[in-house]
Amino acid sequence: MAYCNAHQIDDTNWLLSVGVNKQQDLLKDGYNKKRVALHYVVDNSGSMGSMTNEVRNIFSEMVDSVATAPSSMTIFGTTAEILSSNITSGEQMRSLTLPPQSCTNIPAGVEKALRIIYGQEQKSCSKNESSRIHHILILLSDGEHNSGPEPKRAFPKLNSIVPDDIKLSVVVVGYSRHSNTSMGMLLKKSVETIPLSAEDVKTIYFARNSTTLRSTLEELEVGLNIALKGSVHEIKAENDILISNFGTGKTASLQIHLATEECTYPLLCCADELPETLTVDEDEIKVVLAEEDLSEMLLSDLIQNLIDKTKVQIVASSNNGSIIAKTCAKKLEVLVEVLESKSAGKKDLKLQSVSAKDRVRQYRNIRSVCQQAKELKNQIIDIANFSSQDSEKAANFLNGRSMKYANKALRRATKNSDGVLDPVAERRSMVKDLTSTEFQEKLRLAMYQDVLNNLMYLSDSHFDELKNEVSGRCRADMANLKSLRSKLKNEEEISFDFFKSLNTSQTNLVSSGRLAEYLNEFLHGNRRSYVSLSSPWQHIEEWTQFNYQTFESSWELLMYGGFLGYPLLLERSAASQMNPYLTEVKGLHLSLVDTASICCANQAEYPVYGPEGGEPIKDVLPLIDPSMPRSSRMICGSKLLGQKYTSAVIARDLHMYTGFNMQIALYSNTLLHVIAAPEREGREDIIANLQRTFMDRAFMCAQCGFGPVDHYACSDLQAHNGERHGHARVSNACPNCGWFSSSISNWKKWDGNVCEKFIAAELESLSKYERNRMHIPQAKIEVILRILYSFRKMSSASVIEEYADIAARIMKGAIDGTAEDLDLSAKSGIEGMSQVLLAMFCADGDICNSFLDALKQSEGCVLSIIQEACLREARQIFRMKSGGDKMKAKKMAFQFLTKLLGVTDESAPYTSSLMESERPVDNVRMDCDDSIHLDSQMAHDQMNWVRKIAKQWCHAWSFVRGFHDIVQKGNMSWEKIEHNMESGLQSYSDMVEKLQNIKLETPKECFGLSDSAEAQSLFLNIGVAAIFAGVFGEPLQSSAFPLLQGNDGCDSDVDILHEAAREIRMKIYFGRVQDKLAEWKTVGEDRIFFEARAADINAFQGMLGGHVHGLDKPTFWGLWKAAKNTKNEEKVLSFLSTANEAFFLKHYNGKVLSVNSDD
């Protein structure tokens, strides 16, 4: 027995949940003997060629697998022909003979098929058969209708052929881009009575070519077999209150298709009052107001059904489809807003101190509640933006696919030309690798090696401090710590055999992670994610537990296994996928987060903010942790984190990874941002530095909450309180309120908050000390070293060598004085300018001293770098403004420079008269006006963006120079720096302090410019030259380098601006020449003809020149026609004597001239 539960949506809209008992229906209606007839209507036009025969053979397979009643096949060309109306087997269908091919008359073929259907219905009724036939009409065509009545007039009339209560579904297959999707949807709109579930059978099938046609039709066969296992039901109301789509509006009756596993169907009812009854399959049932709340799942199913059916109506209305689409989209938006309001408040994501498994579980719960609303909203946006489209795009619209994503899928499928890449198979492969015994054992060993090496490298004094700290927490751990340290003194390298030789308590200290936590807190500033609150060890340990969880997507893998890194604020462009260096780093937070938590939050659309505030965190730069170098390198270099996560950060897609260069782009772009855009140390840096130094080791006042107060390794605060040391007195009291307790247990652990009074005092102190000095704060120095450390650890020897070669090129340019010729273009292998910065840090070993000398003596190299950076920036600016159109970008750049330099059309050279030849270009250029009349506001704006880039690279250059100076004076190497970083913060704190004291130079200081005017002149010069080289691809001849050699009478900047003005005028002149040539092509032949015809023989011969085939086309034919027209044999002979042999022989036979030839 059927039933109907009603849920009120708003004052006039109701959701009716119609349910059926399928078992009773099967028995009552004889569905166990379900009858299905397939009616093929196939294009037999000339463009189909042999494919008509191929289609017949493929369709014949469906007769055996899908049809249970006699089927038919109709062929249409100029006219339609029924090949058979009683096909009962595939073999019978394959034996049908195809007629000759002709034009395309689609309505004729459809009409024939409908008359077959009508005949079968009449025959069935005459036999009083209890089960009705479900007719499936399948139309396949490869082109536009071009014969007979227009489909838009013929199709709406075809529904009169078949009875209203017929069970008829329509399937449309478009073959090639020339097929008409809109026409197919008009057919569905006109005659279809039972739309099949779009989840089983697509609204339309589209095959681009013969290669994909078979797979497309096989997909259709599978869909039909699934759909036809469902059931069909008729629903009637007393009035027009039911809505199946927003294109046709309300109706009183409709037929629905329930998929196999479904027992309920959601309907939209639009009425002021709820109807009392409905008729379902001729049974009258009562409409009951449901007691339970309307579920999100039921409402989302209703919206999806309405979207699928409304799209058909939109595409079918080809002339006003976009108008209907916008109206329908507004109605659908109302329903989605209701769905969103029901889902609101159900996003509750807890990321602190939760397991990897719990992160995935929470995400799945949120996704099930909220994801449907998002997906439906995206489909409604597609509807609202609908416009008349070609066949393939319309098919993608109907099936819910965007061409943007289809293209990305195509790139993904053909990645590296290795065939189709299946995301599901790829995910399974990653899980298999991550859960393999080999990976798990290797990762475990790396974790143990990292921790034991940390302990082994500790100095004796530091070890004693660590012992004191551990003894206050667990004496058993302290004893094991001492015995481990003793055993490690005899080891050179930690092996798995060494770990197996440890006793049970020692093994537990290591494998449990307690030793790692002690060392992380004591040596490495207690690094942990402020979101998950987990340490590096804890996050790596999660990678050993992938076999404890099943995964439905690669995103879930990323939520499960992650690692620590710095939050990034990125700005991407459409070209970022092609060149990852175009992904610009706009900001970086100094508080560590973990990628797993951020992935989980992003996918659940749950905003996570940093302690510093600002925008929600979307992206993270994962870095190798010096406290866990081996194991974190395995994690960061894995396919999951190294490739999939990097791809997601750069391209917002998991399947766009193009190689290690993507990771380098993130490293180098972040490095450039941190170094090149420093600011005076502010509130964020003060807090970050204090947290880095004192978090989890300092205390706070129990009375006023002031912190941090450093009572490290001191349990008896009374012992030294009040002691004098010189002129200073020791005080262990709160510096803010004076509260004191001699017992450390009465002091609270510092919570990371810093009082505003202390921050203000620090800022005032720094302001006095750093008033005229730019520097990089301590916390950012740590980021710089971590990036460089990760780059070197992740890079192969060949990559390091590649970047060392770039550094060598810069060094050579500086030492040889050839900086002006330094090639840093993309052709030289430099995809992004940040690679140059990374390369300058790679100088090591024997070349380090020479490189430092080069950095000190050549500002010319800095200028070359700035010029190349500005060139790329100018190209990017105008390309973005033009939407990626190169020619439009050039036009916009031309207009910009014309206005900037004050160039007018009147000041540009004019062409000679139409009948005169133009002077040599060099002569025109020499006489061309080069005066400039600068637009002051535009010049100011131009200088500003160049100044920003120049400032960045001057900062970067001076920091790199200072870095290598510190390395040289400290007799250090990269190997030693890495060792110190792995040994703990105290081992390289001296280097951090020295790097923090590096003075970052301004462009004026770097180039030795005497005043701001010189700097502004240089910036304007560079900017104008950058547009010519970057956008036009035409570097100017004048150079900015003489400006750096002192003001010795050289006005290089003026020369550049004048040259630029002259070249802009020359571009105007070249445009006039093109106009002249276009006019010459139109009227030149006639002008030459009249002049040559009137000329005497001497003047005519002068017009011929040495060889007539060297003349332009209008001149050639004008002279030849003039010679023939005058019937002057001497002119004809003069022309032929200067023509090539073939032309001469064609028009001269020795005596008689073929002067009347039309050639």
Helix or strand (DSSP H, E) at 517: helix 514-523
Question: Of all residues in the chain, what percent carry a pLDDT higher than 70?
Answer: 87
Q: Taking a C-beta distance cutoff of 8 angstroms, is the pair 537, 341 a contact?
A: no
What distance in Å separates the CA atoms of residue 665 and residue 834, rounded to the nearest whole number? 8
Given this model, what pLDDT does residue 397 score? 79
Parallel, antiparallel, or unpaired for β 283-289 and 277-280? antiparallel
Average confidence (pLDDT) over 49-78 = 92
DSSP secondary structure letters along 953-992: HHHHHHHHHHHHHHHHHTT--HHHHHHHHHH-HHHHHHHH
Q: Taking a C-beta distance cutoff of 8 angstroms, is the pair 874, 1032 a contact?
A: no
**What value, to the nearest 5°, has the Cα angle with vertex 70 and ends 65 and 72?**
95
Query: Which of 449-458, 922-931, 984-993, 1051-1060 bottoms out in mean pLDDT, i.e. has the lowest?
Result: 1051-1060
Please report where in the chains the tokens 């050579």 appear, as a residue: 812
Report the chain's mean pLDDT, rounded to a whole number. Answer: 84
Confidence class of residue 216 from pLDDT cuts 50, 70 and 90?
A: confident
Please give the single-letter amino acid code of residue 1024.
V
Given this model, what pLDDT does residue 675 score? 92
Query: Which of 485-494, 665-674, 841-850 bottoms out in mean pLDDT, i.e. has the lowest?
Result: 841-850
pLDDT digits (tens, 9 = 90+) for 684-717: 667 766 765 676 667 888 888 888 887 654 556 7
The residue among 704, 680, 871 whose CA lies nearest residue 780 is 680
Confidence class of residue 850 from pLDDT cuts 50, 70 and 90?
A: low
What one-character DSSP code corresponds to residue 1032?
I
Given this model, what pLDDT does residue 403 score? 36
Query: Which of 29-43, 240-254, 494-508, 996-1010 bottoms out in mean pLDDT, i.e. has the lowest?
Result: 29-43
Average confidence (pLDDT) over 523-549 = 92
pLDDT digits (tens, 9 = 90+) for 346-396: 567 888 888 888 888 888 877 766 667 777 888 888 888 777 666 677 777
Give the count of beta carbons closer than 10 Å to the beta carbon of residue 1026: 27
Q: Taking a C-beta distance cutoff of 8 angstroms, is the pair 247, 398 a contact?
A: no
- State yes or no: pLDDT of 1003 exceeds 60: yes
What distance in Å separates the CA atoms of residue 521 and residue 536, rounded to the nearest whole number? 11
Given this model, what pLDDT does residue 1050 score? 45
pLDDT digits (tens, 9 = 90+) for 403-455: 333 344 334 334 443 444 567 788 889 999 999 999 999 999 999 999 999 89
Confidence class of residue 575 from pLDDT cuts 50, 70 and 90?
A: confident
Q: Tokens representing 222?
A: 């599978």
What distance in Å separates the CA atoms of residue 283 and residue 1, rounded to the nearest whole number? 8
What SS3 state is found at 390?
Answer: coil
Query: Which of 254-268, 810-824, 957-971 bottoms out in mean pLDDT, i.e. has the lowest?
Result: 810-824
pLDDT digits (tens, 9 = 90+) for 864-915: 899 999 999 999 999 888 888 889 999 999 999 999 999 999 999 999 888 7
What distance in Å separates the CA atoms of residue 988 and residue 979, rounded to the nearest whole number? 9
CA dist 997 to 685, 959, 992, Å? 15, 10, 9
User: How far is residue 935 CA from its own chain's centroid?
Assistant: 38
pLDDT digits (tens, 9 = 90+) for 762-803: 666 655 444 445 788 889 999 999 999 999 999 999 999 899
Give the count of beta carbons closer than 10 Å to the beta carbon of residue 474: 14
Parallel, antiparallel, or unpaired for β 699-700 and 748-749? antiparallel
pLDDT digits (tens, 9 = 90+) for 79-106: 999 999 999 999 999 999 999 988 889 9
Given this model, what pLDDT does residue 664 score? 95
Given this model, what pLDDT does residue 633 score? 96
Question: Of all residues in the chain, what percent carry a pLDDT higher than 90?
Answer: 39
Q: Tokens representing 495?
A: 């092996």
Give the count of beta carbons closer than 10 Å to the beta carbon of residue 282: 7
Q: Tokens representing 300?
A: 């989302």
What distance in Å separates the CA atoms of residue 97 and residue 78, rounded to the nearest whole number? 17
Helix or strand (DSSP H, E) at 869: helix 859-881
Tell me if the bond preceding 275 is cis, omega within 30° of 0. no
Given this model, what pLDDT does residue 344 score? 65
Beta bridge pairs of residue 277: 286
CA dist 265 to 197, 234, 303, 501, Å? 11, 12, 12, 67
What one-character DSSP code corresponds to residue 1107?
-
Average confidence (pLDDT) over 1060-1067 = 94
Please give the single-letter amino acid code of residue 237.
A
Confidence class of residue 563 from pLDDT cuts 50, 70 and 90?
A: very high
Higher pLDDT, 918 or 348: 918
Q: Taking a C-beta distance cutoff of 8 angstroms, is the pair 315, 182 a contact?
A: yes
Given this model, what pLDDT does residue 134 score? 93
Given this model, what pLDDT does residue 29 score? 45
Helix orientation angle between 437-456 and 514-523, rounded to the nearest 10 degrees:
50
- Dihedral Cα 689, 693, 694, 697, nearest 10 deg: 160
pLDDT digits (tens, 9 = 90+) for 601-634: 998 888 888 877 778 899 999 999 999 999 999 9
CA dist 655 to 195, 421, 552, Å? 35, 9, 16
- State yes or no: pLDDT of 1026 exceeds 90: yes
Higher pLDDT, 321 or 422: 321
What SS3 state is found at 42?
Answer: strand
Helix orientation angle between 778-794 and 629-636, rounded to the nearest 10 degrees:
70
Q: Taking a C-beta distance cutoff of 8 angstroms, is the pair 911, 1073 a contact?
A: yes
Average confidence (pLDDT) over 98-115 = 92
- State yes or no: pLDDT of 1053 exceeds 60: no
Average confidence (pLDDT) over 3-10 = 92
What distance in Å separates the CA atoms of residue 995 and residue 740, rounded to the nearest whole number? 37
What distance in Å separates the CA atoms of residue 343 and residue 366, rounded to the nearest whole number? 9
DSSP secondary structure letters along 137-168: EEEEESS---SSS-HHHHHHHHTTTS-TT-EE
Given this model, what pLDDT does residue 203 score? 85
- State yes or no: pLDDT of 726 exceeds 70: no
The residue among 751, 970, 990, 953 whose CA lies nearest residue 852 is 970
Q: Taking a C-beta distance cutoff of 8 angstroms, is the pair 863, 1009 a contact?
A: no
Query: Which of 311-325, 825-839, 953-967 bottoms out in mean pLDDT, i.e. has the lowest?
Result: 311-325
Given this model, what pLDDT does residue 364 score? 80
